[in-house]
Amino acid sequence: MGGASLEIAIWILLVQASLGAFDTLYYHEYKLRLPHGDHTHTELRLHALRDFCYAIIIASLGFVTWQGWLAWVLLLILIAEIVITLWDFVEEDKVRVLPPGERCMHAIMGIVYGAFLAYLLPDLWHWSALPVGWGASYHGIPAWILTLIASGVFVSGVRDLLASLRPAPSRSG
């Protein structure tokens, strides 16, 4: 299995990854400069964790299927990404006011991610019944674009993690 529904999931993942890249580069880096914020340590850690989940998802699905119990590992990574994102929404609301465009971007990304899951999960269920291993699943140009984006997502995660570890500003008074 993995015909048309997986192909659609890959294209939706490409849209999702592109939206995430825009959100990170424009809002987090350029407009808000989150890695330099005084109260963004927790948010940056959440972004790093989510980036590492996304890097695995984005880099792998263009080339392989997760079969047998590996399908359940992928499902756990997908669920972890959702939990981290929800936690991030709460954290964002505690420490900063999101610009309307960023709030809308997050809503759009949530919708797109839901569509991605709707197309991926039936294949994931099928993969879980197969013998354990990685199945070949090449998706051409989208796979290579996803690999490039996954590299950027991983680097962004490392950057956010390192920024989250910097000392908090001292409060002298």
pLDDT tens digits, residue range 97-134? 888 988 899 999 999 999 999 999 999 999 999 999 99
pTM here is 0.89
Q: How far is 4 from 25, CA to CA, in rounded Å? A: 32
Report in angstroms the alpha-carbon separations of 34 from 15, 65, 91, 107, 137. Answer: 23, 35, 13, 20, 37
Pair of tokens at residue 128: 């879980």
- Output the furthest CA–CA distance in the chain (Å, rounded): 64
In this predicted structure, the answer to whether residue 2 has a pLDDT above a threshold of 60 is no
pLDDT band at 1 (very low <50, low <70, confident <90, very high): very low
H or E stretch covering 132: none
Q: How far is 13 from 154, CA to CA, in rounded Å? A: 16
H or E stretch covering 173: none
Mean pLDDT (whole number) for 54-60: 97
pLDDT of residue 52: 97
pLDDT band at 56 (very low <50, low <70, confident <90, very high): very high
Cα-flanking dihedrals φ and ψ of residue 160, to 5°? -65, -40
Residue with tokens 């980036």: 51
Query: DSSP E strands: which ranges in the chain?
Result: 64-67, 133-136
Q: How far is 32 from 132, CA to CA, in rounded Å? A: 44
Cross-strand partners of 65: 135
Q: How far is 100 from 136, CA to CA, in rounded Å? A: 42
pLDDT band at 35 (very low <50, low <70, confident <90, very high): confident
Q: How far is 126 from 136, CA to CA, in rounded Å? A: 15
